[in-house]
Structure 1
């Protein structure tokens, strides 16, 4: 296992364990309150992600502790993507710099040529990664359908209907449609169905209607949408985790119909607003703004070219 170098004296490290999900959630929540002004995560997100059969928590995570308190962590969620957080009270001590070094070393050991992380634009993490030589690989946005607004129901083509993906056959069809759509622009391997099942159906709180299909007149699935109902500290929101339509069935209003269906279902269970995210790779921003959604946050995916030399060591306390 790759070790972490350059931490301030007195801190300890270890890989995470599944039972750490609550502590990690609380850490990320504190960071999100500081960086974007609201909590954007649920503990269920961590449970679902860590439950993927392809994810080995012992070799893919590193946590930093001050006594018994978790103050920072990083995880390599795939060979080319990492997530990391340092509690606001412990920033500018070199912890973020040390965790970034661990991420790069771990990704290199796995044979990756690049590794990146999403960070809120202008945040402490954004500035740190820029100083360390991370480039902007793409820009992404969180879009919101404001409270009280709704997307008008989109008429479906003749013979098409929207229904719940209630069986494993349906779930595999949804996985195929979503993976095919995302792999048109995403630089990654196809996600195994077992990982999809852990993240979607295995996520605590999942209900069958969270995964919906558009089927044509012959009953063939041609579009899919995965909705998450986020029950936060102060409000309930709908969040479209993924949305895709088969390439040969696009430009018929199916994506808009799925979106209207998802947000209407979220309202029925108490959601006061609904959100989704998209980025510069998809070309879908215009679709969402045209139906009345507005950009609420801007994020950058900053990445490091692992074929480059490592950045020069910085004194402890000079970074996040």
Structure 2
């Protein structure tokens, strides 16, 4: 998800109010979101992505999965902007640190983007995390808005595609290793542990609980057993995991991890081959994933033939010293 800014010159001035949710937007109303707003948020996001990227990658299931995490309180961590009865903009802040926001393209230039960005800063201050940020496509108007509001880029992300008709060369795995669908609670928890251990080597955040992980994987709307893949060693222990979904004709690898002591054996590449293959078996004609500069994995994906289709930056601002 991306922030969709106004086209007017941004102002960093906070509205004169003690109400955190007062957006001070003449002509609009605003309120916390509800689960039933998921489709309207999807509609806004889809319009923004189509304009900026030329295609729609977000799914309504992504929004539902995020909102059903036990750690997320939709009543206090979201806000929606309405023009009459129509939702035209929204923002959310998870754990006081990770923001997502968007304004429908036909409602830009009216101060909504700036108001939502300032709201995310207030939520961050309330929740005591000291930093809030969100991604934006490189060179976009959203990026210009963040820069004007004093945000700074923390890292770069790339979306890569394995074009239609191309495949990764098969990767043999050591004897006794196997890749299969994660089956049942024990497998789901093993996949979570492998993924979290690997991600926390480079991601500066709290450890994600299994319950939050499950909300975006095995409890995600439309989940099927093949979506969560597990790699095991000869002893049957989990050494790698991957979460892959199919959106329209695209197989998207959302998470991929190999246990630290098992790297250098080609396991990540083998998982990737498996993920793309199983997505094709379920109707995907091309495959995608994203990675960022904190992982050092861009070269791996380019080496197997994937091509960068878009570049994003994560923009953040320090909220710890704001009044």
Q: Which residue of 1 aligns with 2:206?
A: 189
* SS of match in other structure, 1:154: coil
**What is the alpha-carbon distance in structure 2 between the residues aligned to residue 100 and residue 202 of structure 1?**
30
Q: Offset of 1:123 from its aligned partner?
A: 1.3
CA distance in 2, matches of 1:177, 1:241: 14
Which one of 222, 228, 235 corresponds to residue 211 of structure 1?
Answer: 228
* Structure 1: runs of 5 or more not aligned: 311-320
CA shift, 1:4, in A, is 3.0
1:2 aligns with 2:20: yes
Q: Deviations over 1:80-139 (max 9, x none)?
A: 110000111111211111011110001111001111001111112111111101000100
Answer whether contact 2:156 2:311 (CA < 8 A) is retained. yes
Which of 85, 93, 100 is equivalent to 1:68?
85
CA RMSD of aligned residues (A): 1.0
Match of 2:142 among 120, 125, 140: 125
| Secondary structure of residue in 2 paired with 1:205 | coil
Stretch moving more, 282-291 or 122-131? 122-131
Counterpart in the other structure of 2:217: 200
TM-score, normalised to structure 1's length? 0.93
Distance 1:78 1:153 in 2: 40
Larger mean CA deviation between 87-96 and 171-180 belongs to 87-96
Q: CA deviation at 1:77?
A: 2.5
**1:239-279 deviations in Å (ceiling 9; x for gaps):** 00000000000000000000000000111111111000000
Give the Cα separation in 1 of the matches to 2:140 and 2:52: 6
Q: CA–CA distance in 2 between the matches of 1:109 and 1:79?
A: 8
Point out 4+ residue stretches in structure 1 off by more than 2 angstroms.
307-310
Alignment of 1:5-84 (within 5 A): 5-7=23-25, 9-84=26-101
Structure 2 residues without counterparts, runs of 5 or longer = 1-18
Aligned-pair distance for 1:308? Answer: 4.5
Partners in 2 of 1:189 and 1:309 — Cα distance?
Answer: 23
- The alpha-carbon deviation at position 45 of structure 1 amounts to 0.7
Please state how far the C-alpha of 1:57 moved relative to its aligned partner. 0.4
Q: 1:237 aligns with which of 229, 244, 250?
A: 250
Aligned counterparts of 1:307 and 1:15: Cα–Cα separation in 2 = 24
